Amino acid sequence: MVNTKVNLCGITLDNPVIPASGTFGFGQEFHELYDINCLGSFSFKGTTLEPRFGNPTPRIAECPSGMLNAVGLQNPGVDHVITHELPELRKIFHKPVMANISGFAVEEYVQVCEKLDREDGIGWLEVNISCPNVHGGGMSFGTDPKAAAEVTGAVRAVTKKPIIIKLSPNVTDIVSIAKACEDAGADGVSLINTLMGMRLNLRTRKPIIANVTGGYSGPAVFPVAVRMVYQVSKAVSIPVVGMGGVSTAKDVLEMMMAGATAVEVGAANLVDPFASKNIVEDLPKVMQEYGIESLTDIIGAAH
């Protein structure tokens, strides 16, 4: 009998599979299809201080082996999440959930984290300093070690729950940013967010996406994600949550061997709503195929 349990920042997960923020909403739509309690956890829709309508449409463009999106953090705001989404979520999901948080100023991150830190059922605060699809915030905090450390330290000062900083791949040196977050008090880091990209309409000769650029995700980014997870996990002593193009149980094992303690599944959920469930169910079989008795034994095995 294989052991799929992992420990993420002091919280035990039945398995390391975590649907990524922005691809799983608040779990309600997926609950209609299957029992989402089979998952290790999931990261809910990116939440900001005030409600956001998001970017103008079109927001999605298909690409070979992936997709571009520029949704722009559409969400109902933290107060609505606390009063409506979390009570409804507790009815269907009985494990700690990951709260994904975004902001446009350090103080906004602080206020949202402070509010969500008080909520039962939230296990981790995933602080997104890497969204490439908004202006005046998001990724601008995640491309400079000092700015990343400033957000991390400010959030750390007002929270007790584990904080996981979500990092951008759109940088020259992701390792220095990860180390800055660790030094400022992060309990973990998650990576990678989407890669910046764009597509053009040959007839109109204009960008397909109204935002001009979008975040590229899907299987094509997997090798980049594995490389960055490998580099970061070698450089820091805090857990790494790996993501980027993960779509199979074998991908999960590869990401964990690169150094990930847990693995988020993003774009695959938009292609197949059963993707995360299938990965969870396939994992024990694939572990046996490769002679793996416990997932904790392979974390960072490539090092």
173 three-state secondary structure: coil
Beta pairing class for 240-242 and 214-217: unpaired
Q: Is residue 182 part of a domain?
A: yes
What radius of gyration do the chain's Cα atoms show? 18
Q: What is the pLDDT of residues 119-133, one digit of tens each?
A: 999 999 999 997 655
Q: How many CB atoms are located within 10 Å of the residue 91 CB?
A: 9
Rounded Cα distance, 147 and 165, in Å? 12
Q: Is residue 66 part of a domain?
A: no
Catalytic positions, written as ranges: 131
* Tally of structural domains, the chain: 1
Rounded Cα distance, 222 and 286, in Å? 19
Are the C-beta atoms of 51 and 83 separated by less than 8 Å? no
Q: Is residue 209 part of a domain?
A: no
Q: Is residue 65 part of a domain?
A: no
130 Cβ contact list (under 8 Å, min separation 6): 138, 139, 142, 166, 167, 168, 169, 170, 191, 192, 193
pLDDT at 141: 77
Average pLDDT, the chain: 95
Rounded Cα distance, 24 and 273, in Å? 9
Q: Is residue 212 part of a domain?
A: no
- Supply the CATH number for residue 287's domain: 3.20.20.70
- The DSSP secondary-structure symbol of 195 reads E
What phi and psi values does residue 125 have, to the nearest 5 degrees?
A: -105, 110
Q: What is the pLDDT of residues 285-301, one digit of tens each?
A: 999 999 999 999 999 99
How much is the pTM?
A: 0.96
Q: Is residue 201 part of a domain?
A: no
Chain centre to alpha carbon of residue 96:
15
Range of the domain at 97: 6-55+71-196+217-298
Q: What is the pLDDT of residues 100-114, one digit of tens each?
A: 999 988 999 999 999
149 Cβ contact list (under 8 Å, min separation 6): 180, 181, 183, 184
Q: Is residue 120 part of a domain?
A: yes
Q: Which two tokens stand for residue 214?
A: 């979008």
pLDDT at 142: 76
